[in-house]
């Protein structure tokens, strides 16, 4: 396993998500304002596997996309921390849009989902990211996401 740059306790200080809707366990790489690599251990006891699908559990694509959005939010949040930008108010980060998402292979319990997000563009409070998720040698999903940051003023 790669070295952990940011652990779950640090992630919880950035993201408002909590289990069972938190889909990032650790950050293993960060290049501020450019790139983040995070991981999620897909566990067999996660509640969505009870119905998706019994006997052949597959992580729903919408949850993989949300995991990628959370990873992108962490790129923004940890970049601010590494640059020394502090705010007394915790910013609100919203998942606004997904474009061109493609799902090429299923992700199942026991997989380690590795999520990569690269910053594309910023339009004021709108941030665009190119994202992909993989498990081992398998590309799971890729596409473009847009997040919105609530005005900090």
pLDDT tens readout for residues 101-145: 999 999 999 999 999 999 999 998 999 999 999 999 999 999 999
Cα separation values, 72 from 25, 38, 39, 153, Å: 14, 10, 12, 22
Q: What is the pLDDT of residue 150?
A: 85
Rounded CA separation 74/71 (Å): 5
What the block records as the tokens of 75 is 């790129």
Cα separation values, 134 from 60, 108, 126, Å: 14, 11, 26
Rounded CA separation 103/101 (Å): 7
129: left (phi > 0), else alpha (psi -120 to 50), else beta? beta
Catalytic residue, from 17, 48, 52, 105: name it: 52
Q: What is the pLDDT of residue 153?
A: 52
Q: What is the pLDDT of residue 86?
A: 74
Is the pLDDT score of 152 beyond 60?
no
What pLDDT digit, counting tens, does each position of 59-77 carry?
999 999 999 999 999 999 9
How do beta strands 26-31 and 112-123 pair?
unpaired
What percent of the chain stands above pLDDT 70?
93
**Mean pLDDT, all residues of the chain:** 94
What pLDDT digit, counting tens, does each position of 9-67 carry?
999 999 999 999 999 999 999 999 999 999 999 999 999 999 999 999 999 999 999 99
Q: What is the pLDDT of residue 138?
A: 98
What structural domains and CATH numbers belong to the chain? 8-149 (3.10.129.10)
Is 52 an active-site residue?
A: yes
Rounded CA separation 74/56 (Å): 31
């Amino acid at each position: 396993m790669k070295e952990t740059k940011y652990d779950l306790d640090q992630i919880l200080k950035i993201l408002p998500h909590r289990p069972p809707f938190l889909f990032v366990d650790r950050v293993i790489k960060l290049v501020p304002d450019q790139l983040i690599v995070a991981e999620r251990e897909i566990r067999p006891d996660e509640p969505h596997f009870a119905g998706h699908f019994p006997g052949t559990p597959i992580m729903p694509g919408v949850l993989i996309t949300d995991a990628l959005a959370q990873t992108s939010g962490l790129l923004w949040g940890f970049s601010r921390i590494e640059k020394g930008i502090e705010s007394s108010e915790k910013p609100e980060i919203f998942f606004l849009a997904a474009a061109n998402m493609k799902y090429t292979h299923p992700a199942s319990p026991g997989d380690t989902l590795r999520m990569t997000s690269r910053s594309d563009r910023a339009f004021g409070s709108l941030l665009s990211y190119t994202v992909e998720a993989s498990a081992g040698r398998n590309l799971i999903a890729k596409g473009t996401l847009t997040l919105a940051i609530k005005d900090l003023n």
